Amino acid sequence: MDFEEKTIKRTEIFDGHIFKVAVDDVELPNGLGQAKRELIFHRGAVSILTVTPNNKIVLVKQYRKAIEKISYEIPAGKLEVGENGSEKEAALRELEEETGYTGDLELLYEFYTAIGFCNEKIKLYLAKNLEKVPNPRPQDDDEVLELFELTLEECMDLVKSGDIEDAKTIIALQYYALHFGGKN
Amino acid sequence: MDFEEKTIKRTEIFDGHIFKVAVDDVELPNGLGQAKRELIFHRGAVSILTVTPNNKIVLVKQYRKAIEKISYEIPAGKLEVGENGSEKEAALRELEEETGYTGDLELLYEFYTAIGFCNEKIKLYLAKNLEKVPNPRPQDDDEVLELFELTLEECMDLVKSGDIEDAKTIIALQYYALHFGGKN
C-alpha cells in the first residue's frame, strides 16, 4: 500500500507575517485520483514548561484573538526568521521576555499542533534551576501578559474546569504529572 | 489590567472547505495602540482514544500533506457543516469509518490546537467496550489508512523515537498513561 500524495500544482493564497496559505492539487496514491489540500505553513514555535525552585509551574494569562478569550498557557513564542536550528536560544529569549527567568533547558517533545492542515511544529522544553534575570528583555509591545505560579494540582484543576484548554499546555502539564507528580 | 483586543476591521482572505483566513486590525488594551492578527477559522474536530478489550490502543497510519510525511495518530476527523453540538455522533462516525469499531464514548478533554492564530478545537473522547461493526461505513474516498493496535509501552516508544509527533495523539497517550498505565 502506498501513502504518499504527490503535488501536481500549488496555488499560493496568502503570504503573511505569521503563516502562509496554499492550496495543493495532489495525486492520491493507489490510483484513487486527485484531491485538493488546503495548507497552512508556519515557521514553528517553542514552549517552556517552567518549574520554579519550589515546584510551582509558571503560567501566562493572555488574550487570544483567534478564540476571542483569555487563555492560560505555558510561556511560548514563535520562531523568528532565521531561528530554525537555534530553537533553544529562542526558548531562552521567550522565557526571559515573558517571565523574567532564565534557566537550564531540556528538550522534552516536538509535536505538530494541527497536523491535518498545518505544519506548525512546537518544541517543548523543561526549564529548571530558574534564576531571575536582573534586567530582563521587555515583553513584545503588542502583548499584555500576567504571570501565575501554580502547583501541579492547581493547574490540573484549571484543565478540569476548562480554564486551561491549550494543547501545548496540557501536554506539558501531563508530562510533569507523569514524571514528577502524583497520579491525577 | 485589561486584556481584550477589540476588532476594528476584519479583512477576509480565503474561504475554503477546511478553514477560513482573515486578518483583523485590533485595538490593543491599555492604550498600547493597534496591531494586526492573522487568523484561521476552523469548524473543529473530534478524536478518539480507542482502547481494545485487550488494552491495545488503535493508531491510524496516514500521509499528511502539510508535513509531507507519514504520521501515526489516534482516529480523528473534522466536524462537518451543522455538526456543532453533535460531536459525539461525529466521533462515533469517524471511529466506525476509520477503524470499523463502535463503542461507548466518554469526553476526556477539549483543547485548542494552535491557539496563537487558529480557533480549531478538538474534543478528545475515550472509546471503550469496543465492538466490530458488521458492515462499517467506508473510509473517505481521499484517505489511505492503515490500522495498528499497540500497547501503551509501544506507543510511548514511538513518541520517544519521534514517529508519533501529533499533539492530540500525545495528549491521548499521556492521559492513558496517567489514568490506566504505569509511569513512563
Cβ-Cβ contacts under 8 Å, B183 against chain A: 178-179
Cβ-Cβ contacts under 8 Å, A177 against chain B: 178
Task: Pick the residue of B2, B12, B34, B118 with the most A CBs within 10 A to test the interface with A by mutation.
Answer: B118
Determine the straight-line distance between the first and last CA of chain B, rounded to whole angstroms: 41
Find the mean pLDDT for residues A68-86: 91
Q: What is the pLDDT of residue B139?
A: 85
8 Å CB contact of A1 and B146? yes
Over chain A, what is the mean pLDDT?
94
Q: Is the pLDDT of residue A184 over 60?
A: no
Angle at A114 between CA A112 and CA A120, to 5 degrees: 50
Of A65, A170, A184, the CB nearest to B26: A65
- Report the greatest alpha carbon distance in chain A: 62
Would residue A155 count as lying in a domain?
yes
Would residue B55 count as lying in a domain?
yes
- Whether residue A105 sits in one domain with residue A14: no
Q: What is the pLDDT of residue B82?
A: 82
0.90 surpassed by pTM = yes
Find the mean pLDDT for residues A175-181: 92
Would residue B151 count as lying in a domain?
yes
- Whether residue B50 sits in one domain with residue B36: no
Task: Tell me which residue of A61, A58, A91, A55 sits closest to A76, measured CA to CA.
Answer: A91
Q: What is the pLDDT of residue A17?
A: 97
Q: What is the pLDDT of residue B184?
A: 38
Q: Smallest CA–CA separation between A168 and chain B, in Å?
A: 7
pLDDT tens digit sequence for A19-43:
999 999 999 998 999 999 999 999 9
Chain centroid, CA B45 distance in Å: 5
Task: Pick the residue of A168, A169, A179, A180 with the most B CBs within 10 A to test the interface with B by mutation.
Answer: A168
pLDDT tens digit sequence for B78-106:
998 888 779 999 999 999 999 999 999 99
pLDDT tens digit sequence for A121-138:
999 999 999 999 998 888
8 Å CB contact of A184 and B167? no
Over chain B, what is the mean pLDDT?
94
8 Å CB contact of A114 and B121? no
- Whether residue B61 sits in one domain with residue B21: no
Q: What is the pLDDT of residue A181?
A: 79
- Whether residue A91 sits in one domain with residue A59: yes
Cβ-Cβ contacts under 8 Å, A35 against chain B: 142
Query: Is A46 in contact with A90 (CB distance < 8 Å)?
Result: yes
Range of the domain at B126: 45-181
Q: Is the pLDDT of residue B182 over 80?
A: no
- Whether residue B158 sits in one domain with residue B90: yes
Count of domains for chain A: 2
- Whether residue B121 sits in one domain with residue B89: yes
Cβ-Cβ contacts under 8 Å, A141 against chain B: 32
- Whether residue B103 sits in one domain with residue B56: yes
Find the mean pLDDT for residues A66-92: 93
Q: What is the pLDDT of residue B83?
A: 81
- Whether residue B155 sits in one domain with residue B91: yes
- Whether residue A56 sits in one domain with residue A34: no
Positions of E strands within chain A: 6-15, 19-27, 34-42, 45-50, 57-64, 69-73, 76-78, 101-112, 121-132, 146-150
- Whether residue A136 sits in one domain with residue A71: yes
Q: What is the pLDDT of residue A140?
A: 83
Would residue A110 count as lying in a domain?
yes
Would residue A1 count as lying in a domain?
no
Nearest CA in chain A to B107: A160
8 Å CB contact of A5 and B168? no
Q: What is the pLDDT of residue A182?
A: 56
ipTM for this prediction: 0.96
Cβ-Cβ contacts under 8 Å, A111 against chain B: 165-167, 170
- Whether residue A87 sits in one domain with residue A24: no
Q: What is the pLDDT of residue B151?
A: 97
- Whether residue A15 sits in one domain with residue A74: no
- CA pair distance A144, A61, nearest whole angstrom: 8
Cβ-Cβ contacts under 8 Å, B157 against chain A: none
CA distances from A161 to A148, A154, B108, B110, B140 (A): 17, 11, 12, 11, 35
Would residue B1 count as lying in a domain?
no
Task: Tell me which residue of A15, A28, A23, A25 sits closest to A39, measured CA to CA.
Answer: A23
φ, ψ (nearest 5 deg) of residue A182:
-80, 175
pLDDT tens digit sequence for A152-167:
999 999 999 999 999 9
8 Å CB contact of B61 and A3? yes
